[in-house]
Amino acid sequence: MLDVATPRVKPKDPIPDLVESLLVELGEDPDRQGLKDTPDRVSRAMRELTDGYGVKPSDVIAGAVFDQDYDEMVVVKDINFYSLCEHHMLPFFGQCHVGYLPKGKVVGLSKIPRLVEVFSHRLQIQEQLTREIAEALEAALAPRGVGVVVEARHLCMEMRGVETPGGRMITSCMLGTFRRDPRTRAEFLDLVKRN
Ligand SMILES: [Zn+2]
């Protein structure tokens, strides 16, 4: 008797079939040439845009936290991000500004944009995105305080005419001294506003 290895069939990605049904439901012909590869492409795009689910924020920062006696404010501003709103799965995008006041620990600067990316690559609402970034930094560094400001355009509102095109929504989350001390908060907001 031949010992034939059973071929390992990869479980089929269910998203393309769902997209095909959606196309039909919208009145399209999924067999026409322009749409032939669309279900596969949509699947790949959606998986990429939501790949933040598989990543633990603490793993992003781990290995890049350093002991340091620096006690001035650290600010990383104008971090571009793209996310999908959890209400319509349509894009909202803009800039994120992050500041913290270290207490013996700092994080490698490239890790902050990466953290923003991990949280924005999930279905989100802007208020929650803002808070999650602040709380992840607070948990990782135990700093004196953290401030996060997010400015974003929401296509679900603009494209549906709910909001004027180009209008931006601004959210902030202030923790620790950024919340308690108006001077610290003002210093951060001033640095964010400066060009
Ligand atoms: Zn929406």
Q: Decide: 74 and 100 in contact? Cβ < 8 Å.
A: yes
Distance 92 CA to ligand 1 centre (A): 8
CA of 157 to the centre of ligand 1 (A): 7
Residues with CB under 5 A from ligand 1 (ion): 85, 87-88, 156
Evaluate the CA torsion angle 156, 160, 163, 166 in order and state its sign: positive
Taking the model in full, what pTM does it have?
A: 0.90
| pLDDT computed for residue 4 by the predictor | 66
Contact 98, 141 (CB under 8 A): no
For 122-165, the pLDDT digits (tens) are: 999 999 999 999 999 999 999 999 999 999 999 999 998 887 77
> By C-alpha distance, which of 102, 110, 106 is closest to 60?
110
> Stretch 96-100: mean pLDDT, rounded?
98
Q: Give the Å distance between the CA of 166 and the centre of ligand 1.
A: 15
| 61 C-alpha to ligand 1 centroid (Å) | 29
Q: Average pLDDT over the chain, rounded to whole?
A: 93
Rounded Cα gap, residues 194 and 91, in angstroms = 27
Those residues with Cβ within 8 angstroms of residue 66's Cβ, 6 or more apart along the chain or in another chain: 105, 106, 107, 108
How does pLDDT run across 106-127, given as a tens digit for each residue?
999 899 999 999 999 999 999 9
Share of the chain above pLDDT 90, in %: 83
pLDDT at 18 exceeding the cut of 90: yes
